[in-house]
Copies of this chain bind each other. A is one copy, B any other.
Amino acid sequence: MAEQEKEATLPSKENFSEWYNGMLQIAEIMDVRYPVKGSYVWYPFGFSIRRNVYDIIRGLLDKDHQETLFPLLIPENEFMKEAEHIKGFEEEVYWVLNGGTTPLDVKLALRPTSETAIYPMYRLWVRSHADLPLKLYQIVNTFRYETKHTRPLIRLREITSFKEAHTVHATWDEAASQVEEAIRLYIEFYKRLAIPVLPSKRPSWDKFPGADYTIAVDSLMPDGKTLQVGTAHHLGDNFAKTFDIKYEDVDGEQVYAHQTCYGVSERCIATLLSTHGDDKGLVLPPEVAPTQVVIIPIIFKEPEAVLNACNDVKAELEAAGVRVTIDDSDKRPGSKYYKWEMKGVPLRIEIGPRDLKNEAAMLARRDTGEKEQVPLASIKDEVLSRFKIIQTSLLEKATSELNERIFDCSTVDDVKEKVQDGIALVPWCGEEKCGLDLDEQVGAGILGIPTDMDEDGTYKCPICSKETRTRVYVARTY
């Protein structure tokens, strides 16, 4: 499939939006030409990144969650039970009305999220305190009839890869701890993708419909906008009351359970590709790169000796669990470099006759472009140690880029200016009116109150001038 795209030109990352669209197509992540708005096709290469990324999140969750799978179709009566929840979703839900040529008796919603599919079953499954905590998750497609501009991996009508966890606990406090645990888990997940994220508690007007509160993690995109890449909601006993989820406590009393839910979508892939990529294409952390090492034989004489050496290196690396490809195609080296750089392969090994004479190989890092000659005898260790270095280096680079773009602001004008470049940290008195005023005046949104920051200063709300010890992140958002 790559043939027709050969050596297409990727726009500079400075024009982020064009770079993003070009990267998705040229690096073969998503094809946007599917004939339904907001639905996109995963190219096999893109999907292999998705597999590696979702293996990480599965691994993290499997420690104390279980994977499960609930139906896509939700009957109207269940969907309509939770008033606040439905209000948040009613304009966004796709409805199945016909089966074959027959109108259905009961309208069926395509899940926009699965609370109303899962909780009628939790009512049956949760009986006793011994059943708690219950921690399940599923990875599914969900649907939102988005009227805003859609964008692959970011704003979709079919979210193809929604990882949603739903937990049940005995007490409100235990559910609150689980929300914290979920955020820790997401921070760890993004760290594995070499991406720093900012956790913050969403203001009340921006919480999940039906939740007591919401904590979210955001990443910073290259254009200075933030992308919400994970959310965790404390549902209190709100849904438990609606769906009658009770358990018998140690004293034999029937008590409403407390719940949380938390989710991550393929936005994690959007931020992965956008954060690390450059003008040459993708830059992938080794753990998620479908090909971790590409070996390029430099052949003009002794082709057999060179190819043998390449095969030996491949065998040795594969035995160590490394995903390796030899590119022995007829293309010229420059064209091979172009291709594998576009695909974000973390390390390129070049072996030619001169290297063989030195019993060495050239090792080129995708992230920095650094080239170094290394002895063939220790090639495995050289590769494995560089994987760690690359991972650390990508995370450090992304972290310092993020930190450079978080700005302390004290006036509305200051905020207005700084959100053009990144995230403003702004005092806020806590009044909803001031928050909404601020949003409107700066044309950006309050993300929330950082949950990982100990404030010890005193500040002034830029709207009402009241003193406050609280600051919030403000940013333009996707």
Contacts and interface: CB of A to CB of B under 8 A. Distances in A.
Nearest to A121: B41
A303 B158 CA distance: 55
A98 B223 CA distance: 35
Contact of A120 (B35, B72, B120, B158): B35
Contact of A40 (B71, B96, B110): B71
Query: In this complex, which of A98, A101, A102 has the most chain B Cβ atoms within 10 angstroms of its Cβ?
Result: A98
A69 B160 contact: yes
B96 A94 contact: yes
Query: In this complex, which of A33, A41, A134, A158 has the most chain B Cβ atoms within 10 angstroms of its Cβ?
Result: A41
A130 B405 CA distance: 47
A136 to B, nearest CB: 6
A321 to B, nearest CB: 14
A75 interface: yes
Given A36-B108, A67-B51, A69-B160, A44 B94 contact: no
Contact of A69 (B41, B70, B108, B131): B41
Interface stretch (A85-93, A346-354, A455-463): A85-93
A141 interface: yes
A66 interface: yes
A97 B99 contact: no
Nearest to A40: B71
Given A35-B120, A70-B41, A96 B95 contact: yes
B48 A1 contact: no
A91 B96 contact: no
A226 interface: no
A102 B94 CA distance: 9
A121 B68 contact: no
B136 A33 contact: no
B96 A100 contact: no
Interface string A58-81: 000000001111111111001000
Interface of A: 1, 3-4, 31, 33-36, 39-44, 47-48, 50-51, 66-75, 78, 90-102, 106, 108, 110, 117, 120-121, 124-125, 127-128, 130-131, 134, 136, 140-141, 143, 145, 157-158, 160
